[in-house]
Structures are given as C-alpha cells and as structure tokens.
C-alpha cells in the first residue's frame, strides 16, 4: 500500500503510564518520564502511535467499557499538554485467553494496521510484558521490551531490552525504519 505508514504499537500500563493495577479513574494516570519526548520523536519520524492494551477489568465487572475510553481521552489530553500525541487506542475488554484480540494474540495489532493503513514491515510493538512481545512477534513485527514496569520478565526473547520508552524510540529509529 503506497500510503501506508510505519507504526509503533504501544502497551499502555507500564509502558506509557505507571501500572497501578486496574486503572479506574483518569485522575490516577501518571505518565512515565520519557514518554512525551519519545512520542514526539516517533511523530517527527512519521510513525503512527497506536495504543494496544488488554483491559480485562471490563469483563471482570470492575469498570464499564466507557471507563477505558474516558481514560484514553484523559491520557490524550495530558499528553497534549506536554506536546505529544497518540493516533489511536485499541483495547481488548475480554478475559478469556482464546479471545483473538487479547494479547499475546495479534488481533488488535492486525486490526489497527488494516484500519490505520499501517506498513507492518516497518512497525514495532513496545511493551513491558511477555504478552506484548509475543503479540508483536505473532503479527510479524519486532518486540521491544521496556523495563519501566519494574516487573520480572517472562516471555519470548525481545528484539531489544531498553530502560525507557525514549531508549526504545532510539532503538526503533536505528534498527527498524
């Protein structure tokens, strides 16, 4: 596709914002320190910035789907105050592991790629869990692990391991574009 752009598919909790468990209130959003600068770097390099997130709290009855979209809108507003932006939010509200849109399966990445005219051959998945890396690999794209979530990693071998999203941006722009 001639007009297709590359994208960075970004996990939300632990990658863009602090992972506080089931996020139910926009007031609890805490953007991680290098995120705005990293998103600006990706934008300057003409990468779409797409959030791919599992939100099983919906299926668990902890909050309605409207909470996920309200938090997405609040995150967009907070990022805008820091000169950064996202191009889309795709989320899986399900709990069952066989769901085709739930990471580690690539359903959300593939859907976003089709809807946003993304060139997967020049794209990457960035996240802080094995399910993020596995989803990227299942979609045929590199997976970059950021250690900002602070958890022990359990998953497939990432294509790169970096401490922050800004470091991920630098790696992507050197190795993927």
Catalytic annotation, pick one of 11, 19, 128, 167: 11
pLDDT at residue 151 in the model: 81
The total domain count for the chain is 1
In a domain, 1, yes or no: no
Residues 48, 90: contact at Cβ < 8 Å? no
CA-to-CA distance for 2 and 137, rounded, in angstroms? 24
In a domain, 2, yes or no: no
In a domain, 78, yes or no: yes
In the DSSP assignment, the letter for residue 158 is P
In the DSSP assignment, the letter for residue 27 is G
In a domain, 41, yes or no: yes
pLDDT at residue 2 in the model: 58
Q: In which region does residue 4 sit, left (phi positive, over 0), alpha (psi from -120 to 50) or beta (all else)?
A: beta
In the DSSP assignment, the letter for residue 63 is S
Q: Cα(first)–Cα(last) distance of the chain, in Å?
A: 16
Catalytic annotation, pick one of 13, 19, 132, 167: 13
In a domain, 112, yes or no: yes
CA-to-CA distance for 49 and 128, rounded, in angstroms? 16
The per-residue DSSP string of 124-152 comes to EEEESSHHHHHHHHHTTS-EEEEGGG-PP
Q: At 109, which helix (H) or strand (E)? A: helix 107-116
pLDDT at residue 54 in the model: 97
- Residue ranges in the chain modelled with pLDDT below 50: none
**What CATH number is attached to the domain comprising 170?**
3.40.50.1000
pLDDT at residue 60 in the model: 95
CA-to-CA distance for 73 and 79, rounded, in angstroms? 10
User: 27: domain range?
Assistant: 7-175
Which long-range CB contacts under 8 A does 115-118 form with residues at least 24 apart? 115/88, 116/5, 116/7, 116/48, 116/50, 116/87, 116/88, 117/1, 117/3, 117/4, 117/5, 118/4, 118/5, 118/6, 118/7, 118/48, 118/50
Active site residue 11: yes
In a domain, 155, yes or no: yes
In a domain, 163, yes or no: yes
pTM (two decimals): 0.96
In a domain, 109, yes or no: yes
């Amino acid at each position: 596709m001639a007009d297709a752009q590359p994208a960075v598919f970004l996990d939300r909790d632990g990658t863009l914002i602090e992972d506080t468990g089931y996020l139910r209130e926009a007031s609890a959003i805490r953007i991680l320190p290098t995120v705005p600068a990293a998103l600006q770097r990706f934008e300057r390099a003409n990468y779409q910035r797409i959030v791919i997130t599992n939100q099983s709290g919906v299926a668990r009855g902890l909050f309605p789907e409207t909470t996920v979209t309200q938090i997405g809108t609040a995150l967009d507003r907070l990022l805008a105050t820091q000169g950064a932006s996202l191009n889309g939010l795709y989320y899986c509200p399900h709990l069952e592991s066989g769901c085709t849109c739930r990471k580690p399966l690539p359903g959300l990445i593939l859907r976003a790629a089709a809807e946003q005219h993304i060139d997967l051959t020049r794209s990457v998945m960035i996240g802080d869990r094995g399910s993020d890396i596995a989803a990227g690999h299942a979609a045929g794209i590199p997976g970059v692990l950021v250690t900002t979530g602070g958890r022990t990693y359990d998953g497939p071998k990432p294509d790169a391991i970096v401490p922050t999203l800004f470091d991920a941006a630098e790696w992507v722009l050197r190795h993927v574009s």
